[in-house]
């Protein structure tokens, strides 16, 4: 009987250790950002936000990201042109839809490259997308960088125009998140 008790104790100890070894890590705000690039025949621009919250479920044992969630207020993006930013907030109805968010729970990682499948919620529409990213680890800092396209029409956003010419329907979103893996 004691052997069975020891076996179950061993199973509970290591089973619990494996199950609960994942930790939640928050991106370091001072080193993390999300930006988008817009395109028009007359000029291109970039708007950036450093006010993004990103949390991952991380397995230190495997050095793998298990899940990810990121969110930002749309008003936090700055293109360094207040007229353009004001027009963008009007088109995306920032008062009705104040946040853009992504949750990814299907992650395939191999040699520092990841494919994350999840839902992007923007302007009241949630769509499943696939995001490619790269990870690097230096000391206790893990950096996750990537980019993905967003078609504005797919999120029911009216396409802005300048001098009678519309911007491209697709914007390019780039992100950099830095995590302290020893938190």
Q: What is the pLDDT of residues 84-125, one digit of tens each?
A: 899 889 999 999 999 999 999 899 988 889 999 999 999 999
pLDDT for res 20 = 56
Lowest mean per-residue pLDDT among 38-52, 85-99, 120-134, 161-175: 161-175
Give, in order, the Cα–Cα distances in Å from 175 to each of 12, 88, 178: 40, 19, 10
Confidence of residue 10 (pLDDT cuts 50, 70, 90): very low
Q: What is the value of pTM for the model shown?
A: 0.84
Using the predicted structure, report yes or no on whether residue 5 has a pLDDT greater than 50.
no
* pLDDT over threshold 60, residue 38: yes
Q: Contact at 8 Å (CB) between 31 and 175?
A: no
* 3-class DSSP state of 114: strand
Q: Report how far residue 46's alpha carbon sits from residue 29's, in angstroms, rounded to the nearest whole number.
A: 19
Q: How does the average pLDDT of the chain come out, rounded? A: 87
Give the integer Cα–Cα distance in Å for 168 and 152.
Answer: 9
User: Greatest CA span in the chain, whole angstroms?
Assistant: 84
């Amino acid at each position: 009987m004691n052997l069975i008790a020891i076996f179950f104790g061993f199973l509970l100890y290591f089973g619990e250790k494996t199950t609960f070894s994942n930790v939640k890590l928050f991106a370091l705000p001072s080193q993390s950002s999300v930006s988008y690039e817009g395109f028009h025949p007359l000029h291109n621009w970039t708007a950036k936000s450093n006010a993004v919250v990103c949390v991952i479920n991380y397995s230190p044992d495997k050095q793998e990201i298990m899940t990810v969630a990121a969110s930002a207020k749309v008003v936090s993006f700055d293109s360094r042109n207040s007229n353009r930013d004001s027009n963008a907030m009007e088109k995306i109805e920032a008062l009705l839809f104040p946040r853009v968010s992504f949750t990814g729970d299907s992650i395939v990682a191999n040699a520092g490259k990841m494919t994350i499948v999840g839902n992007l919620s923007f302007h009241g529409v949630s769509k499943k997308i696939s995001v490619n990213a790269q990870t690097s680890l230096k000391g206790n800092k893990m950096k996750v960088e990537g980019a993905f396209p967003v078609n504005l029409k797919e999120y029911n956003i009216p396409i802005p125009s300048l001098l009678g010419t519309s911007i491209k329907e697709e914007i390019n979103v780039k992100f950099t998140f830095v995590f302290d893996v020893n938190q």
